[in-house]
Amino acid sequence: MELFGREGRDGIYTGPAARELARACAAGGSGLTEADLVAQRAEWAEPISLEYRGRRILEMPPNGQGIIALVALGILSFDDLGKLSPAERMHLEIEATRMGFAEAFPRVGDPRCVEVDVTALLTESALSGMRDRIDPKTAQPQPGIGRDLGDTTYLCVVDAAGNAVSLITSISSVFGAGVVAGRTGVVMNNRGAEFSLDPKSPNLIASGRRPRHSILPAMALRDGRPEFVFGCMGGMMQPQGHIQLMVNVLDAGMGLQEAIDAPRYRILDGVDVAVDDGLDPEVIADLEQCGHQLKSSEKLPLGSSFKGSAQMIRFHRDHGSLEGGTDHRIDGVAIGL
């Protein structure tokens, strides 16, 4: 960290640190070389977005999975969720989330290598067609969405001038690749696990490609200015958490802390859905009547990233204040200085 503070990016990706990183990888049988590290470049990416309840929701573009959240919110925009019962609303949320994964997940890859037509997925006609395929009374099976372990940290911050940052970083899986790079103390990440050996996959492993990833910082703008700065942690739970947070605050009228603390769902394979134990028993009964197979989040295998733990900040521009919320499921904190 001291080296990075003195020399910036080149202190890590070139010179002695890069040699030590490459040496540690070679010792474990990896093909990563010092030349690969030198060639690494960060990119500025334009966010993808969708209008929802008068806000423009900003998400990361492919090779990120923000499109999943935008598709689901686009589907939900056709219904007045505030007039539905909690069970009816959650059923529609779950089904829209399933549709988002089904439509977007198989397409997402490195946009430099595969075409991901975000615009086509977010047209009103496309979203309306997806909404028409949802049965308001019956759960529809969800194909497998892959790994759901994570090792992610999210934070959001707003300064005195109103600048907002939504930041997330992840080494993927518990302790990343499980390799500490020699004397550097750097824990190597495991994001390459999202690559595929299937020649038809948009995530086919190849030189120069970046894999599909789940890390999703987000914002929501109102009249072109940030209103919500937010994100969730937890593998494939991240886009699902975004959907639930936006519905909670914009449709159910919850404050930030209430929206974050509200019981959550996470779709699994088939019609299985993990839910927080605090969910109303009547809502559980109604969802099961629709065919959802509900499982307690507390009984999932150790290490499962169900929680989707969230942090949020909201600008209240009408009276010049900020509201912050942090998740009781983790050791976060909301601080005003």
Per-residue pLDDT reduced to its tens digit, 261-271: 999 999 888 88
pLDDT at 294: 92
Tell me how crowded residue 105 is: count the other CB atoms within 10 A of its CB: 21
Domains, the chain, ordered by start: 1-42 (no CATH), 48-150+211-326 (1.10.246.130)
Q: Which residues are designated catalytic?
A: 152
CA atoms in the 13 A half-sphere facing the CB of 208: 4
| Residues 185/21, Cβ–Cβ less than 8 Å | no
CA distance 221 to 50: 10
- Segments of the chain with pLDDT less than 50: none
Helix or strand run (H / E) with residue 248: helix 237-250
The per-residue pLDDT for 174 is 76
pLDDT at 292: 94
Residue 191 pLDDT: 83
pTM of the model: 0.93
Secondary structure element (H or E) that encloses residue 324, with its range: strand 321-326
